[in-house]
Amino acid sequence: MSEETLDYKTYKQIKQMMLNFDIVPGQRIVITELADKLEISRTPVKMAMIMLMKEGFVDYSHRQSCYTVHQLTQEEYDGLADFREILEVGAVIKAMKNLTPAKLKELEKKAQKFKQAAEANDKELRVVHDLEFHSCIVDMAGSRNLSETFRDVYQRFFMQRRITRLLGERYDQVLAEHDEIIEAFRQKDADRARQAIVNHARLAKEFIDSIYY
């Protein structure tokens, strides 16, 4: 295995740890401790940190000589929220054209998995299944670049924001909003689907704003 390959593999491992909340927003990252946990040398961890810093996932403090997981400012969050909505709404027309009974059934399964994770109060898993529900819509548009961009934007919400208080009283609303999106696809009503997604995104943003900002 080349050193470059190990650097990238380490980068992916650390990013997955962030997505799984093994490393949380605001947490100080100690290179030696993380290297020991991953059972590798410090060099690939340092290189991975540089890659993550360039992508905005971690910050480096010269004064303290350490990395920390970046926490989104309200301005950053607002920009990501708007971009995510644009991407998903923009995918609806092509997604609707490519809709098949099998794809509709897959969307329904994604919603059910989110519901099960929420009922079990599995905070990390419900984030994963919410991502998969919305990504399923974007994936139906048939653009790999669009799908990858959407996932990256979505992940930034949760990799850089603590979620211990997320959902709560929003639970019933989210389920109803997912159902409305699915029903719009059942009816092959693109306008209804786009409006449902816009409404869902707006209510989610208002809820998160009320918690963090």
Same-domain pairing of 25 and 89: no
Q: What is the pLDDT of residue 168?
A: 61
Q: What is the pLDDT of residue 77?
A: 87
Same-domain pairing of 84 and 62: no
Same-domain pairing of 90 and 63: no
**Residue that terminates a domain, selected from 40, 69, 98:** 69
Same-domain pairing of 118 and 138: yes
Q: How confident is the model over 159-182, as a mean pLDDT?
A: 76
Q: Which domain holds residue 142?
A: 74-212
Same-domain pairing of 39 and 91: no
Q: Which residues contact 30 (CB under 8 A, 6 or more apart)?
A: 66
Residue 88 and residue 201 in contact, taking contact as beta carbons nearer than 8 Å: yes
Same-domain pairing of 203 and 177: yes
pLDDT digits (tens, 9 = 90+) for 103-141: 999 999 999 999 998 888 777 778 888 999 999 999 999
Residue 84 and residue 126 in contact, taking contact as beta carbons nearer than 8 Å: no
Strands (E), the chain: 28-29, 58-61, 66-69
Q: What is the pLDDT of residue 167?
A: 57
3-state helix, strand, coil in the chain (%, to 5): 75, 5, 20
Tell me the CATH number at 8.
Answer: 1.10.10.10
Task: Point out the least confidently predicted range of 55-59, 86-90, 91-95, 103-107.
Answer: 55-59
Same-domain pairing of 125 and 63: no
Same-domain pairing of 125 and 205: yes
At 1, is the pLDDT very low, low, confident or very high (cuts 50, 70, 90)? very low
pLDDT reading at 13 higher than 90: yes
Q: Tokens 């905070």 correspond to what residue?
A: 123
Domain count, the chain: 2
Same-domain pairing of 115 and 174: yes
Same-domain pairing of 49 and 107: no
Q: Tokens 């050193």 correspond to what residue?
A: 3
Same-domain pairing of 188 and 88: yes
Same-domain pairing of 97 and 164: yes
Q: What share of the chain in percent tops pLDDT 90?
A: 59
Average pLDDT over the chain, rounded to an integer: 88
3-class SS of residue 4: helix
To the nearest 10 degrees (0 to 180), the angle between helices 3-19 and 144-159 is 60
Q: Is 143 exposed, middle or buried (0-12, 13-18, 19+ CB in 10 A)?
A: middle
Tell me the CATH number at 120.
Answer: 1.20.120.530
Q: What is the Cα Rg of the chain in Å? A: 19
